[in-house]
């Protein structure tokens, strides 16, 4: 990827984050209170103070908020924090943070109350190690800008449970113009080092040159035959050279998109494709589904023809993707199609025919209830209604919700076209933090209340949908007390608010057992604590309930406190 593509990938993470529905319930720092909170602690290396280390504080979305540097004793203090949830970590690219609960990401997650001085946030860091080497091809020429993948393994060579290597330097995972890579800041341990890609694993566009098959140091395509690199703390493993074979051949897939009824070719239609995979349903049946979607973003030509270049051998499905183009730029017909499977073996694939049907419309009105505040009304006008359609359980190939979005007109009406039949899930969201606090309280269609889902029948538009939105100003703040032991590092705690079976808000529990759920609409809820085990092994006592519930009453502009207690005392025998 060139540098622009890489930046676009970085921006896309941000854009996708903003598009995510979860933003409606995100923990956004409350800017109205005074910013007098602080976090202090100590950074040590091998028990000794680590001076001059930068400690950074970011929001959950990795937006930089504040930073401080450790003094000669390794102490730091970050001031000027508003109330909210933050991530704090030492910025030490050549050191390693201790492995911790993956739910917190690197560093620690702290929920700071207004004006609170949080103390004792300590970090024990270790010196990071280096793995470096050179990648060449079958002709001994350097392979440039090839990505290196590290797999942490245990003594037997099997993948280790934790695979996260926090890094601020994505470039170091790529070979340079000499084919050389140098990855630093790695935790001590055993690794299998590889380059290349399994063919047919990802739907890619633009990578027409074909990937090298995944090859492990020094030249093994079978991971079982890979040499294990043993890295000591702060050590350097040199000459970890990988010899790749030859690039795989890629092929072209061509076909047409036609009207399902008339058979006429359709020009100007956007399409995409994805990898075909299978999984087992709860009914123990095999269900095919499309994993990942990519598109060359080129519409069909005047003859309705499409083509995909650079496709590796594998099984895929191609489909119409009208919503690929923004609504105001769509020139082709608003259509959808079922995914059409195809397989690439050792030659081009031609004559793939996609039958497209007229996209269905979902329209209605959004009603904002109980709001008079002008600021809130202004933010409401920026919201968008988004629809994700999930194909029914009986479909031959399931596809990720392909849907659409619509702005809300000044009279509250909205309309989304180009939808396929299936279960349509309706949400509201926006491209900015503006959406925080708005919640769909109920949806009605033809007098019937729905749980945010509407069934779209083939060939039938849906109109008159009423989406009722409210704005929450209540806050639920709480604490989870752990008694009789410490919580294992592979356990995740999650608190949600539910009402009539619908989740109205969720909060992440931080390193101190605290959580905050903001923008809750007034009402009676149940706070539900879930104890989720992330690994296969767990040291929780036998018979420990994995879920706890408590009634909670939330009022406007008020904070309600909730406390859960998790008793880890080992229970006596049977």
Partner 1 sequence: MLHRNSHTRGASLLAHSLVFLSVATVSAQQATDTSQSKPPASSAITGRVVNESGQPLPGVAVSVGSWGASDARRTATDNEGYFKAEGLDAGVYRIFASWPSYISEAPGSFDSSERQPLYRPGDSVTIKLTKGGVIAGTVTNATSDAIVNVTVRAYRVRDAEGKPLPTATSSRERLTDDRGYYRIYGLQPGSYVVSAGGQGQYVSGYAANPYGNDVPTYAPASTRDAAVEFVVRSGDEATADIRYRGEPGHSISGRVAGVQPNPTYIPGVLIVDSTSHALIATANAMDENRGFQVNGVPDGDYEIAARAGGGPNGDASASATKRISVRGADVTGLELALAPLASISGRVHLELDSKSSCGRHRETALRETLIIARRDLVEEKAETKNAKDKSAPATEALPFGPAFAEAVANDKNEVSLRNLSPGTYRLETRLPGSGWYVSAISLVNPDQKPPVRKATEANIARDGLALKSGDKVSGLTVTITEGAASIRGSVSVADGQRLPQNIRVYLVPAEREASENVLRFFEVGLESDRTFTVANIAPGRYWVIARPAEENDSTRVKLIRQNSDFRARVLREAESLKKEVSFKPCERTVDYDLQF
**Residue 259 in contact with partner 1, rule: CB under 8 A:** no
Task: Kindly tell me which of 200 and 421 has the beta carbon lying closer to partner 1.
Answer: 200
For residues 334 to 373, the per-residue mask of contacts with partner 1, x marking binding by CB under 8 A and - elsewhere, is ----------------------------------------
Q: What is the 3-state secondary structure (H, E, C) of 463-499?
A: EEEEEEEEECCEEEEEEEEEECCCCCCCEEEEEEEEE
Least distance to partner 1 from the beta carbon of 10, Å? 7
Least distance to partner 1 from the beta carbon of 501, Å? 33
Task: Kindly tell me which of 65 and 424 has the beta carbon lying closer to partner 1.
Answer: 65
Contacts with partner 1 in 187-216 (CB under 8 A)? 202-206, 208-210
Burial of 285 (0-12, 13-18, 19+ CB in 10 A): exposed
User: In this chain, which of 63, 124, 238, 571 binds partner 1, going by CB under 8 A?
Assistant: 63
CA distance 2 to 388: 32
Query: Which among 330, 315, 259, 319 has a CA at the least distance from the CA of 295?
Result: 319
Least distance to partner 1 from the beta carbon of 288, Å? 19
**Residue 164 in contact with partner 1, rule: CB under 8 A:** no
**Residue 144 in contact with partner 1, rule: CB under 8 A:** yes
**Residue 431 in contact with partner 1, rule: CB under 8 A:** yes
Burial of 18 (0-12, 13-18, 19+ CB in 10 A): middle
Q: Total residues contacting partner 1 (rule CB under 8 A)?
A: 72
> Residue 411, CB half-sphere, CA atoms under 13 Å: how many?
4
Stretch that binds partner 1, among 63-71, 393-401, 491-499, 548-556 (CB under 8 A): 63-71
Residue 500 φ/ψ region, left for φ over 0, alpha for ψ in the -120 to 50 degree band, beta for the rest: left
Query: Which among 96, 108, 119 has a CA at the least distance from the CA of 46?
Result: 96
**Residue 145 in contact with partner 1, rule: CB under 8 A:** yes
User: In this chain, which of 282, 326, 459, 543 binds partner 1, going by CB under 8 A?
Assistant: 326
Task: Kindly tell me which of 131 and 226 has the beta carbon lying closer to partner 1.
Answer: 131
**Residue 5 in contact with partner 1, rule: CB under 8 A:** yes
CA distance 533 to 236: 35
User: In this chain, which of 128, 199, 255, 505 binds partner 1, going by CB under 8 A?
Assistant: 128
CA distance 232 to 241: 19
**Residue 522 in contact with partner 1, rule: CB under 8 A:** no
**Residue 437 in contact with partner 1, rule: CB under 8 A:** no
Q: Read off the DSSP letter of residue 196.
A: S
CA distance 274 to 289: 9
User: In this chain, which of 157, 235, 292, 513 binds partner 1, going by CB under 8 A?
Assistant: 292
Stretch that binds partner 1, among 61-69, 149-157, 526-534, 539-547 (CB under 8 A): 61-69
- Residue 103: phi and psi, rounded to 5, are -70, -20
**Residue 138 in contact with partner 1, rule: CB under 8 A:** no
**Residue 377 in contact with partner 1, rule: CB under 8 A:** no
For residues 75 to 114, the per-residue mask of contacts with partner 1, x marking binding by CB under 8 A and - elsewhere, is ----------------x-xx--------------------
Task: Kindly tell me which of 194 and 211 has the beta carbon lying closer to partner 1.
Answer: 211
**Residue 295 in contact with partner 1, rule: CB under 8 A:** yes
**Residue 247 in contact with partner 1, rule: CB under 8 A:** yes
Query: Which among 317, 338, 289, 325 has a CA at the least distance from the CA of 203?
Result: 317
Least distance to partner 1 from the beta carbon of 168, Å? 6
**Residue 310 in contact with partner 1, rule: CB under 8 A:** yes
SS3 559: strand
Report in angstroms the alpha-carbon separations of 428 from 143, 391, 407, 412.
Answer: 46, 21, 10, 13
CA distance 53 to 74: 8
């Amino acid at each position: 990827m060139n540098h622009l593509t890489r930046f676009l990938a970085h921006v896309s993470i941000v854009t996708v984050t903003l598009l995510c529905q979860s933003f409606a319930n995100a923990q956004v720092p409350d800017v109205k209170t005074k910013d007098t909170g602080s976090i202090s602690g100590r950074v040590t290396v091998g028990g000794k103070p680590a001076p001059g280390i930068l400690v950074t504080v970011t929001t959950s979305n990795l937006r930089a908020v504040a930073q401080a540097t450790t003094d000669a004793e390794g102490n730091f203090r970050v001031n000027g924090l508003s109330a909210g949830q933050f991530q704090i970590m030492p910025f030490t690219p050549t050191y390693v943070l201790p492995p911790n609960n993956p739910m917190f990401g690197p560093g620690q997650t702290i929920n700071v109350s207004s004006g609170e001085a949080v103390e004792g946030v300590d970090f024990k860091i270790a010196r990071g190690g280096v793995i470096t080497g050179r990648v060449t091809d079958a002709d001994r020429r350097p392979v440039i800008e090839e990505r290196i993948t590290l797999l942490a393994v245990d003594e037997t060579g099997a993948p280790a449970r934790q695979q996260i290597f926090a890094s601020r330097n994505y470039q170091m995972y790529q070979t340079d113009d000499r084919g050389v890579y140098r990855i630093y800041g790695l935790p001590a341990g055993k690794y299998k080092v590889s380059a290349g890609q399994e063919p047919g694993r990802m739907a890619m566009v633009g990578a027409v040159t074909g990937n090298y098959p995944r090859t492990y140091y020094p030249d093994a395509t079978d991971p079982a035959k890979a040499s294990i690199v043993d890295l000591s703390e702060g050590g350097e493993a040199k000459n970890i050279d990988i010899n790749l074979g030859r690039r795989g051949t890629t092929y072209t897939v061509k076909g047409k998109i036609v009207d399902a009824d008339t058979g006429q070719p359709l020009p100007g239609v956007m399409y995409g494709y994805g990898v075909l995979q299978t999984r087992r349903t709860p009914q123990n049946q095999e269900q095919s589904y499309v994993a990942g979607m990519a598109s060359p973003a080129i519409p069909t030509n005047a003859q309705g023809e499409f083509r995909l270049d650079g496709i590796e051998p594998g099984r895929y499905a191609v489909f119409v993707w009208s919503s690929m183009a923004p609504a105001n730029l769509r020139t082709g017909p608003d259509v959808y199609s079922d995914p059409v499977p195809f397989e690439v073996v050792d030659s081009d694939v031609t004559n793939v025919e996609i039958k497209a049907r007229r996209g269905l419309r979902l329209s209605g009105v959004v009603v904002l209830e109980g709001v008079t505040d002008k600021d809130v009304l202004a933010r409401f006008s920026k919201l968008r209604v988004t629809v994700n359609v999930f194909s029914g359980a009986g479909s031959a190939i399931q596809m990720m919700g392909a849907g659409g979005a619509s702005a809300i007109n000044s009279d509250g009406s909205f309309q989304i076209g180009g939808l396929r039949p299936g279960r349509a899930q309706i949400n509201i969201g926006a491209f900015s933090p503006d959406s925080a606090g708005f919640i769909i309280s109920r949806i009605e269609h033809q007098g019937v209340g729905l749980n945010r889902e509407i069934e779209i029948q083939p060939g039938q538009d849906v109109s008159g949908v009423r989406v009722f939105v409210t704005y929450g100003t209540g806050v639920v703040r709480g604490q989870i007390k752990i008694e009789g032991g410490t919580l294992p590092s592979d356990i995740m705690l999650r608190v949600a608010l539910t009402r009539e079976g619908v989740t109205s808000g969720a909060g992440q529990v931080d390193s101190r057992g605290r959580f905050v759920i903001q923008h809750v609409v007034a009402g009676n809820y149940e706070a539900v604590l879930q104890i989720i085990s992330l690994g296969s092994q767990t040291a929780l006592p036998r018979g420990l309930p994995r879920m706890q519930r408590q009634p909670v009453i939330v009022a406007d502009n008020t904070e309600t406190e909730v406390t859960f207690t998790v008793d880890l005392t080992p229970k006596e025998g049977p």
